[in-house]
Amino acid sequence: MRIGTARSSYRHDESLFDSRTQHAWLAVLAVALLGFPFFADEYWLYLACLVAINIASTTGLNILTGYTGLVSLGQAAFMGIGAYTVAALEQKLGTPVLLNLLAGGFVAMLGGLVVGLPSLRVKGLYLAIATIAASVVLHFVFANWHSVTGGHAGITVAPAEILGVSFDTSFRLYWLFVPITALMVLGAANLFRTRIGRAFIAIRDRDISAEVLGIPLLRYKLLSFGLSSFYAGVAGGMWAYFFRVVTPESFPLIMSIFFLAAVIVGGMGTILGAILGAVFMTMVPEALKLIVGWLPLSADATLILSPVRTIVFGALIVGFLVFEPLGLQEIWRRIRRFFHLWPFRA
C-alpha cells in the first residue's frame, strides 16, 4: 500500500515538474520573441516573418494530415485564395487589415469545403491526386480571371496599415505576423482538447470504428478541410502583405510539397512538430544558398538551386519517413529526456 502511494506521489510530483518546465520554456520563448527584432538585422527579420507565415500554414496542414489523416497537396492553392482575396479587398475596397486576413481565411475555407467533398469516398493516394487536381484548377483560375486576379500580371498590394501605422518594413511586419501566428498555433493546440479534435484523431486512427461510434465522417472531414484551408488562407493573406504582389506563379505545386515536407519532417500529429518542421524547412533553402555561395562555382550555378531544392525536399521526406518517422519533435523529446530538462532540473 505504501509502495503504491509512493509511486502515485512520484508521478504527481513529476507531472507538476513537467508543467512548471513547460511554463518556464514558454516564458523563455516569449522573452526571446520580444527581444529578437531589436537585435536582428533586416535579413533575419525577413526570415522571421517568412517563418511565421510558414508556421501558420503548416499548422493548418497538420490539422488535416497529421491529426485527421487526410493527405493534401493543395495547401499552396488555398494560400493563393487567401492572398488574392486580401489583395482584391485591399486594392478595391481598402478594408482594414485584420478584416482582410479573416476574409481571406473564410474564402479559402469555402474552397477547402468544396475540395474536401470527395474525402468521404476516397483517401490516401487518390485524395492526394484530387487535391493536386484542385490546385491545377485554381491555378488556371488565378491566371485567367483577369477582372479579379489580374491574370499573369497579378495584383500589387499596398502596405498593411493599422491605426495610421504603415507596416512597410520587416521590423513592423514582425509585430503583426508573430502575434497572429501565435494565436493560430494556440487555437490549434486547444482544438485537440475538445470533442472536435478528439473526433479528428479517431478518424485518423480508424475511420470505420469512428463511424461505428457515432462520429459523422463527412461532417468532421469537411470541418478538418475547412480549418486547414482557413489557416492557409490567413497565411496567404500575410504572404500578400509581406511580398506586396500576388501572381499565379507565387503558389506553385512545389510549395504544397514544401508544407507536406514540413509536417513530415517536424512530426505529424503534434503542434510542436508543425513549428519545428516549418522552421527547419524554411532554413533549408537559405542553407543551400549559403553552400552554393561558398563553392567555387560560376555565376550560373545559382540556376541549379531550384531543382536542387526540390531534390532536397524529396530526400528529407524519404529520409525522415525511413529513419525518424516521428520527426524532429521526437528528436527534441529524446534530447530533453537525455538532459533531464536541464537547466530547470530541481
- pLDDT tens digits along 229-254: 999 999 999 999 999 999 999 999 88
- Residues paired with 161 in a beta bridge: 166
Nearest C-alpha neighbor of 276 from the set 346, 331, 321? 331
Q: How confident is the model at residue 121 (pLDDT cuts 50, 70, 90)?
A: confident
User: In the prediction, which pLDDT does 7 show?
Assistant: 42
Q: How confident is the model at residue 48 (pLDDT cuts 50, 70, 90)?
A: very high
Note whether residue 14 is domain-resident.
no
User: In the prediction, which pLDDT does 342 show?
Assistant: 56
Q: What whole-number percentage of the chain has pLDDT above 90?
A: 47
User: In the prediction, which pLDDT does 8 show?
Assistant: 45
The secondary structure element, H or E, covering residue 75 is helix 75-92
User: In the prediction, which pLDDT does 346 show?
Assistant: 46
Distances (CA, A) of 227 to 111, 117, 162, 273: 11, 14, 26, 18
Q: How far apart are CA 170 and CA 304, in angstroms?
A: 28
Kindly tell me if the per-residue pLDDT of 205 is higher than 80.
yes
Note whether residue 25 is domain-resident.
no
Amino acid at 199: A
The parent domain of residue 305 ranges over 40-344
Q: Which backbone phi and psi does 160 adopt, to 5 degrees?
A: -60, 140
User: In the prediction, which pLDDT does 127 show?
Assistant: 87
Task: Give the mean pLDDT of 52-74.
Answer: 93
User: In the prediction, which pLDDT does 1 show?
Assistant: 44
Task: Give the mean pLDDT of 3-32.
Answer: 59
Q: In this predicted model, what pLDDT tens digit does every residue of 134-161 receive, in sequence order?
A: 999 999 999 998 888 888 888 999 988 8
Task: Among 94-98, 115-119, 241-245, 253-257, name the one with the lowest average pLDDT.
Answer: 115-119
Kindly tell me if the per-residue pLDDT of 71 is higher than 80.
yes
Task: Give the mean pLDDT of 33-50.
Answer: 90
Note whether residue 86 is domain-resident.
yes
Task: Give the mean pLDDT of 70-79.
Answer: 93
Note whether residue 280 is domain-resident.
yes
More confidently predicted of 9 and 334: 334
Task: Give the mean pLDDT of 292-298.
Answer: 64
Global model pTM greater than 0.85: yes
Q: How confident is the model at residue 85 (pLDDT cuts 50, 70, 90)?
A: very high
Note whether residue 2 is domain-resident.
no
Largest CA distance in the chain: 77
Task: Give the mean pLDDT of 56-62.
Answer: 95
Note whether residue 141 is domain-resident.
yes
Task: Give the mean pLDDT of 175-193.
Answer: 93
C-alpha cell at 272: 510542436
For residue 73, the SS3 value is: coil
Note whether residue 20 is domain-resident.
no
User: In the prediction, which pLDDT does 27 show?
Assistant: 82
> How many domains, in total, are found in the chain?
1
CATH of the domain at 124: 1.10.3470
Note whether residue 32 is domain-resident.
no
Kindly tell me if the per-residue pLDDT of 5 is higher than 50.
no
Q: How confident is the model at residue 291 (pLDDT cuts 50, 70, 90)?
A: confident
